[in-house]
């Protein structure tokens, strides 16, 4: 039986509609809207594209949106001062510094300079700690998007065995912690496997929910998947170009074969990808509500 496909594009659209409705209601109540600033250092084409997408979405949702472009040679001190300016700006609820930064700037120092209550990427150690103890105000965007896909895809997570392939700070570790929480869309038993794990397939075949963020195209094959499992593919790998000259993408999961064995699966593209910016907007809305409630 072919798996049900969870469209991240459709789920993201639903969430954005919910955000827009809430923003309109909050604007009537407080006469202001969530504020997001994206800081871009230099002109890396990929970074420009990412930031443009974030700003476009923010404006569509009625946010107060600022794109702050800085030259490649900005000093670390000046960048830290810029962040402090936005930390103290009551019209800004979310601060996002687009990575990577130039080599002369310490990325860790920059990310740690952001007020944790405005850290809508949820990379600050305060927000990481809040996540671990189950008191997260914001969740990292991609893992939060994965959880939304599971919940809205009708996947039962409580008591399920979740196996996470990959242990990155951006996806693997946070989604493992999210799924461990005694909460809706979680309450799972979690196993994390990685490059140091012997016989990874032994564990992936046990998974009721398999979340794959390995960074290797078509790494998970059908023989590594339990019959009827929910499979979330986080990977986006370039494997060539199409006849039209566009990038040809593949996930970390052998989609065509695994979809015949899984119960539910996300495609690449159109799965987890569209959720990341949407969850950034949801975090910015949460930061706005946090500020007005204070």
Give the closest residue to 199 by CA, choosing from 231, 224, 218.
224
Work out the number of other CB atoms within 10 angstroms of the CB of residue 256: 9
Alpha helices (H) in 167-227, listed in sequence order: 172-180, 200-204
89-92 own/partner pairs: CB under 8 Å, 24+ apart:
89/35, 90/291, 91/32, 91/35, 91/64, 92/35, 92/36, 92/37, 92/64, 92/66, 92/118
Q: How far apart are CA 219 and CA 93, in angstroms?
A: 39
Q: How far apart are CA 162 and CA 211, in angstroms?
A: 7
Strand partners, 39: 68, 97
| Residue 38 backbone phi and psi in degrees, to 5 | -115, 125
List active site positions: 54, 98, 121
Distance, first Cα to last Cα, the chain: 52
């Amino acid at each position: 039986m072919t798996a049900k496909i969870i469209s991240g594009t459709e789920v993201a659209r639903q969430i954005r509609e919910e955000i827009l409705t809430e923003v309109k209601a909050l604007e009537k109540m407080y006469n202001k809207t969530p504020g997001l600033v994206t800081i871009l250092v230099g002109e890396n084409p990929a970074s420009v594209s990412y930031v443009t997408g974030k700003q476009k979405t923010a404006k569509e949702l009625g946010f107060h949106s600022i794109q702050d472009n800085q030259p490649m040679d900005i000093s670390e001190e000046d960048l830290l001062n810029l962040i402090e300016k936005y930390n103290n700006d009551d019209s800004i609820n979310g601060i996002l510094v687009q990575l990577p930064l130039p080599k002369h700037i310490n990325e860790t120092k920059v990310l740690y300079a952001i007020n944790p209550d405005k850290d809508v990427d949820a990379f600050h150690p305060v927000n990481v700690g809040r996540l671990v103890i189950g008191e997260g105000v914001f969740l990292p965007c991609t893992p939060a998007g994965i959880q939304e896909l599971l919940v809205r895809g009708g996947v039962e997570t409580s008591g399920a065995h979740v196996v996470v392939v990959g242990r990155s700070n951006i996806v693997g570790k946070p989604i493992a912690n999210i799924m461990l929480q005694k909460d809706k869309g979680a309450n799972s038993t979690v196993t994390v496997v990685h490059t140091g794990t012997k016989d990874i397939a032994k564990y992936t075949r046990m998974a009721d929910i398999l979340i794959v963020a390995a960074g290797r195209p078509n790494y998970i094959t059908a023989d590594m998947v339990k019959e009827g499992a929910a499979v979330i593919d986080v990977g986006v790998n370039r494997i060539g170009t199409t006849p039209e000259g566009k990038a040809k993408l593949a996930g970390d999961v052998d989609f065509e074969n695994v979809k015949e064995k899984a119960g539910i699966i996300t495609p690449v593209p159109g799965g987890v990808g569209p959720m990341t910016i949407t969850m950034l907007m949801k975090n910015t809305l949460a930061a706005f509500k946090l500020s007005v409630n204070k």
